Amino acid sequence: MALLGNKKEKTYDTGDLKVPVSLGVIMDGNGRWATNRHLPRSAGHKVGAENLKELCRNCVRYGVKYLTVYAFSTENWARPQPEVDFLMKLFVELFDKYDEELAEEGIRVRFTGDDSELPKKVRDVCKTAEERSKNRPNMQLIVALNYGGRREILNSCRQIAEKVKAGEIEPSDITEKMLSDNMYLPDVPDPELIIRPSGEMRLSNFLLWESAYSEFWVSDTLWPDFGYEDLTQAFRDFASRDRRFGGLSKKESKT
Residue 142: φ, ψ to 5°? -110, 115
Does 32 help bind ligand FPP (rule: CB under 6 A)? yes
Residue type present at position 218: V
Least distance from C-beta 113 to ligand FPP, angstroms? Answer: 11
Of 87-95, 100-108, 112-120, 239-247: span binding ligand FPP (CB under 6 A): 87-95
Least distance from C-beta 255 to ligand FPP, angstroms? Answer: 45
Contacts of 96 (CB under 8 A, 6+ apart): 125, 128, 129
Among 94, 126, 160, 188, binds ligand FPP (CB under 6 A): 94
Residue, CB closest to ligand FPP: 31
Nearer Cβ to ligand FPP, position 68 or 232? 68
CA 37 to chain centre: 27
Q: Which residues pair with 138 in a beta bridge?
A: none
Least distance from C-beta 20 to ligand FPP, angstroms? Answer: 20
Ordered alpha helix ranges (H), the chain: 30-36, 41-62, 81-97, 99-104, 120-133, 149-165, 176-181, 228-239, 250-253
Does 71 help bind ligand FPP (rule: CB under 6 A)? yes
Determine the Cα–Cα distance for residues 17 and 234; give it in Å rounded to an integer: 9
Does 31 help bind ligand FPP (rule: CB under 6 A)? yes
Give the residue among 218, 228, 235, 188 at the shortest CA–CA distance from 68. Answer: 188
Among 19, 23, 27, 122, binds ligand FPP (CB under 6 A): 27
CA 33 to chain centre: 20
Determine the Cα–Cα distance for residues 5 and 133; give it in Å rounded to an integer: 25
Does 91 help bind ligand FPP (rule: CB under 6 A)? yes
Does 204 help bind ligand FPP (rule: CB under 6 A)? no
Q: What is the DSSP letter of 52?
A: H
Question: What residues are labeled active site?
Answer: 28, 76
Nearer Cβ to ligand FPP, position 125 or 160? 125
Does 55 help bind ligand FPP (rule: CB under 6 A)? no
Q: Which residues contact ligand FPP by CB under 6 A?
A: 27-32, 45, 48-49, 52, 71, 76, 90-91, 94, 143
